[in-house]
Amino acid sequence: MQPLTEKTIRSSFVNASRQEAKKLTLPENFDSLDWDSLEYLGWRDPKMMQRGYLFHTDDSGRTRGILLRPTDGGRKPTNAAMCEMCRDVNIPCAVGMWTTKRAGQAGRDGDTLGTLICLNFECSRNVRIPPPKNPIYPDPMVVVAQRIELLDERVQSFLSRL
């Protein structure tokens, strides 16, 4: 994805108050992020672990960000669950249930949406792990390219459902 500035991040929320956007703490590695290997930027607030953020830029260049909360406080990772974004079947990391407010009035009225996402937003890393070669998929990098594409589409469609 295209690198985001702090200003874009704080002003692109679709479901956070101005106050919440102001209180956000950037990821610790923000200055050294490898944006080329990210389909979305996701992280847990280093100062408020009960908050996660996800930012995505769609094909038209519009960036949207959401504030998420782990439903179980993130303490009990659901290891058997599959992340709705990367859908990695050999998931190398913990997946948790996150809830996020709907955009606009629905969200202000308390309407939320829940989804399973890798607890530390490792989706982009997961989809880049090449699968073992097999007769159906002789080229693992073709599979990786497809997964990257699908991850991008799923994030975009999830944001549109808000």
Q: What are the backbone dihedrals phi and psi of residue 143, each rounded to the nearest 5 degrees, phi first?
A: -65, -45
Of 137, 158, 132, which Cα lies nearest the Cα of 39? 158
CA quadruple 54, 84, 128, 134: dihedral, nearest 10:
-170
Contact status: 123 vs Zn ion (CB under 5 A): yes
Give the nearest distance from C-beta 50 to Zn ion in angstroms.
19
- Residues 24, 54, 83, 119: which binds Zn ion (CB under 5 A)? 83
Size of the site for Zn ion (CB under 5 A): 5
Tell me how far CA of residue 76 lies from CA of 71, 117, 125, 132, in angstroms: 10, 13, 22, 30
The mark string for 23-52 relative to Zn ion (x by CB under 5 A, - otherwise) is: ------------------------------
In the complex with Zn ion, the residue whose CB is nearer, 16 or 86, is 86
User: Cα dihedral sign for 136, 153, 106, 51?
Assistant: positive
Contact status: 155 vs Zn ion (CB under 5 A): no
Of 1, 122, 128, 117, which Cα lies nearest the Cα of 66? 117
- Residues 1, 4, 38, 118: which binds Zn ion (CB under 5 A)? 118
In the complex with Zn ion, the residue whose CB is nearer, 1 or 86, is 86
Contact status: 119 vs Zn ion (CB under 5 A): no
Give me 1's structure tokens.
Answer: 């994805």
Specify the stretch interacting with Zn ion by CB under 5 A; choose among 25-33, 36-44, 52-60, 82-90: 82-90
In the complex with Zn ion, the residue whose CB is nearer, 41 or 85, is 85
In the complex with Zn ion, the residue whose CB is nearer, 112 or 115, is 115
Q: Which DSSP helix (H) or strand (E) runs through 157?
A: helix 140-161
Residues in contact with Zn ion by the rule CB under 5 A: 83, 85-86, 118, 123
